[in-house]
A = this chain, B = another copy of it.
Amino acid sequence: MPATQHEIAKHLGISRGTLYRVLSNSPLVNAATRERVLNEVKRLNYAPNAIARGLKMRCTHTVGVVGPAALKLSNIDKLNALHFAARERGYTMVLGYSDGSADEDARCIRELQSRMVDGFIAFGRGLPLSTPHYQALIDSGKHLVTLYPLPGLEVDCVFVHTREAYRNLTTHLIKLGHRDIALLIDASASQYTLNREEGFRETMTEAGLKPREDWIVRVTPDGISTPGDERREKSLWKISSYQYGFWGTSLLLARRERPTAIVCYSDEFAIGALRAADVAGIEVPRELSIVGYDDQEPARFAHVPLTTMRQPDKELGEKAIDLLLDRIEGKLPSGPVTIPLAAKLVVRESCGPPLSRA
């Protein structure tokens, strides 16, 4: 039970007003009194009660993150970046957990609301169903920054340009000479997935290559989905992405006609793919090129170090927090701001020219 201002003031025989003046560095206080107070404050290791302060000030110096249902390697760098950026500006990050479903997003938002966070970062899964909840949040005058562009939402947004990134990955393979390229993604309708697919399709088409629909593999917890299938949206995060990559690639490689390269949803998928190729006795990159996305550490230390895209996580966190806090502090003109950030191609050893056919 930490000391309160009331107790300290009583103990020192002064009023709470005077005590507060010392604590808030007001000059309107006798030097001797100030001295006495500061000593006592230090002696008792007084720490202001942030709860009471927040209630009074209607401002808790806290940003709420509508985060992922479970922490994963693929999101912790962004969370760390947000945390440090917030801390840098004197704010604390509170992490809410939502599995990305609309209900959970709503619950998560309510919970953060009730803790009186000063603003929100939408991390989430980027599923369109949550849009109304975010819209309601904005309408109620709260500040929100999303980490992916959500169609139909007029809101501040800082995001990694995934579509562009997948254009670059695909282009990289095409330049190496590949024409038979597969795409290995998950079956959700999240922005993350859609953007990857769009980037891939656009680039293939522009290069005069018609993407083969049976080489666009959508993995679900139940296997590989047929187009339009969106089963088990909610439990997706529980399944291992490595397993997805392994599974999808194994099925792909077991077919009669095989691609010479695979664009994967993530590094996890790609490492699973690498393993599947190994098990199938297919040599990477000689017989099969594989690219990932994220530049996670395991990608760098994989048996065949992965060619992948590095996301500017630090920059993303800083820009998002700056945008949010500038809004909160009223430093920004009205009208939503959108800041796209570019991922960077990291070339390693998992890609090569296609094996010329017999």
What sequence of 0s and 1s flags, for each residue 42-67 of chain A, a beta carbon within 8 Å of any chain B beta carbon? 00000111111011000010000000
Name the one of B48, B51, B94, B302 contacting A303, with C-beta atoms under 8 angstroms.
B302
What sequence of 0s and 1s flags, for each residue 271-305 of chain A, a beta carbon within 8 Å of any chain B beta carbon? 11011001000000000000000000110111100
What residue of chain B has the Cβ atom nearest to residue A50's Cβ? Answer: B114
A52 and B50 contacting across the interface, CB-CB below 8 Å: no
Residues of B contacting A207 in the complex (Cβ-Cβ under 8 angstroms): none
Residues of B contacting A278 in the complex (Cβ-Cβ under 8 angstroms): 303
A51 and B49 contacting across the interface, CB-CB below 8 Å: no
Residues of B contacting A242 in the complex (Cβ-Cβ under 8 angstroms): 297-298, 300-301
Q: When chains A and B are docked, how far (Å) is the Cα of A300 from the Cα of B246?
A: 11
Interface residues of A in 290-331 (CB under 8 A from B): 297-298, 300-303
Asked if A150 lies at the interface with its beta carbon under 8 angstroms from chain B, I say no
Q: When chains A and B are docked, how far (Å) is the Cα of A87 from the Cα of B297?
A: 31
Asked if A92 lies at the interface with its beta carbon under 8 angstroms from chain B, I say yes
Query: What is the size category of the interface that chain A forms with chain B?
Result: 35 or more
A71 and B76 contacting across the interface, CB-CB below 8 Å: yes
Interface residues of A in 98-113 (CB under 8 A from B): 110-111, 113
Name the one of B48, B72, B140 contacting A76, with C-beta atoms under 8 angstroms.
B72
B246 and A268 contacting across the interface, CB-CB below 8 Å: no
A114 and B49 contacting across the interface, CB-CB below 8 Å: yes
Known: A49-B114, A76-B72. A297 touches B275 (CB 8 A): no
Asked if A141 lies at the interface with its beta carbon under 8 angstroms from chain B, I say yes
Residues of B contacting A71 in the complex (Cβ-Cβ under 8 angstroms): 71, 76, 79-80
Residues of B contacting A95 in the complex (Cβ-Cβ under 8 angstroms): 95
Shortest 7 CB-CB distances between A and B: which pairs? Answer: A303-B303, A71-B76, A298-B298, A50-B114, A242-B301, A70-B80, A275-B301
